[in-house]
Amino acid sequence: MERAARKAGNRLRRDFGEVEHLQVSRKGPADFVSKADQVSERTIYDELLHARPDWGFVLEEGGMIEGDPSKPRWVIDPLDGTTNFLHGIPHFAISIAVQEPKLDGSGWGEVTAALVYEPIQDQTFWAEKTRGAWLQDARLRVSSRSNMSDALIATGIPFQGHGDFAQWSKIFAAIGPQVAGIRRYGTASLDLAWLAAGRFDGFWESGLKDWDTAAGCLLVREAGGFVTDFRGRSVDIASAQVLAANNGLHSKLHKSLVGALK
């Protein structure tokens, strides 16, 4: 996973330096795909296919590629933070996760390995189920802050054609006055990695995709944090609704969120 991410990351760094020359197309309202996304995805796909030829793939750009249904599959975002990338903002990442098939054959279940690679700072966040979360070779733990007034919370803000403005506004109005700060950086995989590293204390967003959060969810959990949907359910990959935080803050954020959405 790291070899694939670093190989793709080297190309992303080069493309970032010449972003004005990239071919860019529009997938939907305020939803862009660049040649850099496509090349990164192909690089990661080729590396991982060579390593595990019978595994399937869930790719942001390439869609679903079936493998042996009894084997795991890769869930990949080749460039999380494309809008940042295209605007010359050095905050984007590659996200790769391993998702296991359910034992009863009814679909896909838990994530057991995860990697978020940040090419500009050359930082690799990774986790394996029951082995903890790590930044390079340093063990990660979520923060120990338990007071809302001390907490720095990350979020994703709805934008053109994406998200529920009314819902987000209600949650922001409930949480914002209680916390030390709210940040929106536009790269969900890094938001969750930074939460695992104790840089953020909580995170909420809705309307994401599995490739945005699959790796980040495991990072937070293996660093001692909690990830649920807005109802408080601990799903394998929280994407449609994500509420993540350390042990001392998750219940408080959940209470505020639920109260806002009544």
- Going by the DSSP 8-state scheme, the letter that residue 176 receives in this structure is G
**What percent of the chain is predicted at pLDDT more than 70?**
95
User: 2-139, what's its fold?
Assistant: Fructose-1,6-Bisphosphatase; Chain A, domain 1 (3.30.540)
Encoding tokens for residue 199?
Answer: 């840089």
Nearest residue to 39 via CA among 15, 63, 21, 55 = 15
The distance of Cα 64 from the centroid of its chain, to the nearest Å, equals 18
Q: What is the pLDDT of residue 30?
A: 42
pLDDT digits (tens, 9 = 90+) for 184-223: 999 999 999 999 999 999 999 999 999 999 999 999 999 9
Angle made by CA atoms 255, 258, 262, in degrees to the nearest 5: 140
Look-up of token digits 């806002």: 260
Cα(24)–Cα(44) distance, integer angstroms = 20
Query: Angle, to 10 degrees, between the axis of helix 2-16 and the axis of helix 35-51?
Result: 160
Encoding tokens for residue 240?
Answer: 């449609």
Helical ranges in the chain per DSSP H: 2-16, 35-51, 82-86, 165-175, 188-196, 210-222, 247-260
Residue ranges, comma separated, of all CATH 3.30.540.10 domains in the chain are 2-139
Residue ranges, comma separated, of all CATH 3.40.190.80 domains in the chain are 148-260
Of the ranges 81-85, 198-202, 228-232, which one carries the lowest mean pLDDT score? 81-85
The model's pTM is 0.94
Of the ranges 91-105, 152-166, 185-199, 244-258, which one carries the lowest mean pLDDT score? 152-166
CATH number of 148-260: 3.40.190.80
Query: β-strands 226-228, 241-245: how paired?
Result: antiparallel
